[in-house]
Amino acid sequence: MAQPHSSSTVTTITDEINQRVGDLAWEELTRQLDERGHAITPAILDAEECAQLASLFEAGRFRSTIDMARYRFGDGRYRYFEHPLPELVAALRSSFYAYLAPIANRWSRLLRGENRTFPLSHEELLELCQKAGQHRPTPLILRYGEGDWNALHQDLYGDVFFPFQVLTVLSVRGHDFDGGEFVLLEQRPRAQSRAHVLNPSQGAFVIFPTAERPNRGRTGYHRIGMRHGVATVTRGERTALGIIFHDAA
């Protein structure tokens, strides 16, 4: 999707993304999140949109570039977008948030202890971030070549963090790359960890927890810690877009 050049075009892109995200089967996605701790949407972005987003890795405006090997995060690079975000990225961020905020608040009520509730609009979440000193945008593009990988981690960035994030792979598995599976790890209390290995199609979005999820046990709900990462790319080049809803300190 070409970058818009007028306010009317921006509105068209935002409305289109709002429509696509709103048309998702949210009742089924919510069931998957509750039962599995993650969900995968059908493809929301087409091949052209994915290719143009991937091209931003070289042509976009970024506040920071991270070489993963330097920080022992894995191998590969990722780049955080600068304000203003590309219109398509901003539209995806606000659209997904509107549907995930009620789920986040319900999950918060299920967990014991003091758990934050979240506003229903993304703008209000960003205001909470600013009050906490978190001003830097967090949506990012990640690029992996052959032999690259990403260690299991959590994207918290500050005291205010939203319980969900979403990710889409902009490349085509089996054509552009092999390997590079998306990995979710459940750190279950008093039990061995459980891994989920996911292969979303191009333009589909994985919805997954930022740090933890509720799980129903014999005596009620308890917390399961969550981490995510990427398995080693065995061939080619894999580019992905990650959308984190809270900003960074």
Sheet with strand 140-144: strands edge to edge: 39-43, 204-209, 164-169, 238-244, 140-144, 77-81, 62-67
pLDDT tens per residue across span 151-198: 999 999 999 999 999 999 999 999 999 999 999 999 987 789 999 999
The Cα 61–Cα 79 span in angstroms is 9
Residue 149 pairs in a beta bridge with 75
Q: Say what percent of the chain tops pLDDT 70.
A: 94
The Cα 240–Cα 228 span in angstroms is 14
The Cα 224–Cα 221 span in angstroms is 10
CA 40 from chain centre, in angstroms, equals 11
Domains along the sequence of the chain with CATH: 7-244 (2.60.120.620)
The Cα 234–Cα 145 span in angstroms is 8
pLDDT tens per residue across span 91-150: 999 999 999 999 999 999 998 766 789 999 999 999 999 999 999 999 999 999 999 999
Q: In the 3-class helix/strand/coil scheme, how is 164-190 assigned residue by residue?
A: EEEEEECCCECCCEEECCEEEEEECCC
Residue 74 is encoded by which pair of tokens?
Answer: 């894995």
Mean pLDDT value across the chain: 93
